[in-house]
Structure 1
């Protein structure tokens, strides 16, 4: 469970912003674009067309979800093939009539006894932490998201984005969110393992490649490095450490032990970030979560570095590295000032020059920046309106209008809404995700305009965000 200081800080943030959202503006932004403010998601779904309009895109669903075979291996659940799990787990039941079909004909030597042992282990793991929202309407959503997230964290801490071959890599960004979700649900050891993988993969200059092979052997291709990775790694380290209270001698010792384990990752990222920042306090242009080449600095690169530098100070101070902690505070202040000066005049749009906003507008609010940037909340409300799609949000306002909802951004905004006092909007976005999962309850990357789940399922980033949103609603 989180420390008293962390819990109090979140409550203060939420209370301070409740008045700002009392008008219901954010709830209106959470509703489908074709419905007026005040409508409900139930109204929206009832009026949804039977099929997607011709202008809307169709994308195949890669798989229905993931499961654990009796031999402990991760397997894809084929679309259209019902899967039978042992109760309360993601372990496949070898007694099911279609067991061989789910395994796509692959032989597995262990049988029911081995499957039951794996299932008992999963249940024990769930019981060792918390399932946010576990006694309410989101109980199944939370439990399956948590089990899927654990399934996608491989031995050694490799948190893969998904199990489709095209997604079976570790993105530092996705892994950072997975680590925070694991920590906030009481699985700090797993969270530290995820960050340990990032520490081993980290480049000598403190930065990261865009993604890594899960065996730790390096990147799978030559795509450009993404600067925001070092910010997300530092941010996640601080958030994970915040889940360890320092209330007594025993927990203080545990907190110190974890801080010392995280410190090398954070110190390298800090030193590299300080070297990277220019005289204006800003980093150079880099690809960000859009995964495309950039010649102009984006908010999606600058804002995570500020978040990371703020958290780096806490981790390094807890590890006893006071000199670097002071450096982190100074760098965070300078980067924050520079980011606000560059992006606030344009309403925290993707580029400093203004224009369309994207999901990075959320990164200058809680739970990312300790103090929200001036004007950030209004900009975030505007971004939610710009990004609306029939059933949720797209990654950006200027994103192609193909009717597709992206669950990473929809779940991210649910979390940010919950952290900033608008529980109603958070639940509206969570309802969208809960309603449009796959046949086995996995959260897909995309939801089509007709409500069909699409692309990879589950997606670890979306699963993590859902858990974080539900956790925030309970705090």
Structure 2
């Protein structure tokens, strides 16, 4: 997953076993730390995150928080807010207040020419951007979560549509999957132009054969390393294109946007169909776990079904009827093969029935247009297997280190909302809302004692939280 260089400490496919090793980023405690750490909007971590008196203790991982969030300096540059720092923002924005902010603390000891007039101009622009769309959950208990998530996404959308996963160096890349989710979140909150910029970046980065690298440098010059390309990327790109287009009413503008999206989608359709074997499935590929695989995973094929289904609408609207029909036929082929191969085992990560992971969510709405038979039961089983002290882990067999991952927690909140399971949605959103950083950002991880950890904000998590709240809105 984005920036998680420790991802290979999980079970390797060849071994079928999970070691008890914990992350070695920080010290490993013999018990959960006392609660009371200030998080989110100066809220203490919930007491329920601590073990009951007399309960047996378990070693849990301790990871650092790399930053509290991101900010915009008076010169317009994006800057990280160091861990432990609570900066002053101009009201309702991510723009640092030049009158109140200690720039030496925020800018690693540096100084800026902080003109008040320019800072207010930047703040007015960000407020105008917010006002041009909607804030899901406005007027409810999660309005602050929603508003700050939107501000973080807006701040991390770089020129040219580069939607970086985070601002810490190891996350300052564009992952096609993360960017696709953000594009959908932008579109559903009334920012279709921003969504299209994000998809335009993916179209420029896309290979001629329709495929994508695991991640890209934000300047669009290519991948930062030699990670294996990921087949799910073309599925996510097609899926996002269809959902973004769906936010536009029928008419000339929708047709023009479909034509804009058509090259991206057409290449992805052609590339996906060329990969399919006689089984109706593609070869094994890395998926959201971002490690090489020698067996096909649900996390690769389920997004391809979702993408091909959405490609039909985009291509038909753009007038490419022949390719739209090819996408429809391919979607049915891959869907049928996926259900036959993974469904009997309960839509687990691999077709042999072992290991529930978050890909179980991808066979339901808002991904597949018709939920897979048995998909809901599989999703519920995966949620139980993935449960951690605060939220969810990426998989049931993931490291038992007490760490909650907000991408999967917020993803399951969105899927729950789409299934009409509002109680589960509220439970998962509450877990995210009450464990934010000092700036209100959603971190990638939450420790067993409730402290936020790793990068903040993580744009995939922010996007899914927004989409969950949007699905809850009447």
Is contact 2:387-2:393 (8 Å) kept? yes
Is contact 1:52-1:450 (8 Å) kept? no
Task: Name the counterpart of 1:427.
Answer: 426
Secondary structure of the corresponding residue to residue 280 of structure 2: coil
CA 1:362–1:97 in structure 2 vs 1: closer, same or farther (change >3 Å)?
closer
- 2:198 is equivalent to residue 194 of structure 1: yes
Secondary structure of the corresponding residue to residue 346 of structure 1: coil
Is contact 2:87-2:101 (8 Å) kept? no
- 2:316 is equivalent to residue 312 of structure 1: no
Task: Name the counterpart of 1:336.
Answer: 335
Alpha-carbon displacement from aligned partner over 1:17-58 (angstroms, at most 9, x marks no partner): xxxxxxxxxxxxxxxxxxxxxxxx978347668999551100
Aligned-partner Cα distance in 1 for 2:48–2:328: 46
Task: Name the counterpart of 1:293.
Answer: 292
Aligned-partner Cα distance in 2 for 1:271–1:46: 52
Alpha-carbon displacement from aligned partner over 1:268-305 (angstroms, at most 9, x marks no partner): 00000000111111010000000111000000000000
- C-alpha displacement at 1:140, in angstroms? 0.4
- C-alpha displacement at 1:389, in angstroms? 0.4
- 2:60 is equivalent to residue 60 of structure 1: no
Secondary structure of the corresponding residue to residue 65 of structure 1: strand
- C-alpha displacement at 1:215, in angstroms? 0.2
Please report the TM-score for the alignment, with normalisation by the length of structure 1. 0.89
Task: Name the counterpart of 1:239.
Answer: 243
Is contact 1:52-1:449 (8 Å) kept? no
- 2:382 is equivalent to residue 387 of structure 1: no
Task: Name the counterpart of 1:154.
Answer: 158
Task: Name the counterpart of 2:73.
Answer: 69
- C-alpha displacement at 1:154, in angstroms? 0.5
Task: Name the counterpart of 2:167.
Answer: 163
Number of residue pairs matched by the alignment: 430
Aligned-partner Cα distance in 1 for 2:405–2:52: 18
Is contact 1:131-1:143 (8 Å) kept? yes
Aligned-partner Cα distance in 1 for 2:102–2:112: 14
Aligned-partner Cα distance in 2 for 1:223–1:48: 43
Aligned-partner Cα distance in 2 for 1:372–1:100: 53
**Between Structure 1 and Structure 2, which shows a larger proportion of helix residues?**
1
Secondary structure of the corresponding residue to residue 169 of structure 2: coil
Please point out which of 83, 88, 93 is paired with 2:92: 88
Task: Name the counterpart of 2:471.
Answer: 472
Is contact 1:50-1:450 (8 Å) kept? no
Task: Name the counterpart of 2:233.
Answer: 229
Task: Name the counterpart of 2:5.
Answer: none
Q: Which aligned pairs between 1:455-470 and structure 2 lie closer than 5 A?
A: 455-470=454-469
Secondary structure of the corresponding residue to residue 160 of structure 2: coil
- 2:127 is equivalent to residue 112 of structure 1: no
Is contact 2:71-2:95 (8 Å) kept? yes
Please report the TM-score for the alignment, with normalisation by the length of structure 2. 0.89
Q: Which runs of 5+ in 2 are unaligned?
A: 1-44
Secondary structure of the corresponding residue to residue 148 of structure 1: helix
Is contact 1:160-1:460 (8 Å) kept? yes
Task: Name the counterpart of 1:214.
Answer: 218
Is contact 2:98-2:114 (8 Å) kept? no
Task: Name the counterpart of 2:149.
Answer: 145
Secondary structure of the corresponding residue to residue 392 of structure 1: coil
CA 1:309–1:78 in structure 2 vs 1: closer, same or farther (change >3 Å)?
same
Aligned-partner Cα distance in 2 for 1:404–1:265: 37
Secondary structure of the corresponding residue to residue 388 of structure 1: coil
- C-alpha displacement at 1:99, in angstroms? 2.4
Aligned-partner Cα distance in 2 for 1:54–1:437: 24
Name segments (4+ residues, structure 1) moved above 2 Å: 41-54, 105-110
Task: Name the counterpart of 1:102.
Answer: 106
- C-alpha displacement at 1:97, in angstroms? 4.8
Aligned-partner Cα distance in 2 for 1:148–1:49: 38
Aligned-partner Cα distance in 1 for 2:80–2:58: 31
Secondary structure of the corresponding residue to residue 76 of structure 1: strand
**Worse overlay, 371-380 or 105-114:** 105-114
- 2:391 is equivalent to residue 416 of structure 1: no
Secondary structure of the corresponding residue to residue 77 of structure 1: strand
CA RMSD of aligned residues (A): 1.6
- C-alpha displacement at 1:427, in angstroms? 0.5
Secondary structure of the corresponding residue to residue 344 of structure 2: helix
Is contact 1:65-1:457 (8 Å) kept? yes
Task: Name the counterpart of 1:36.
Answer: none
- C-alpha displacement at 1:82, in angstroms? 1.7
Q: Which runs of 5+ in 1 are unaligned?
A: 1-40, 247-251
Aligned-partner Cα distance in 2 for 1:301–1:407: 21
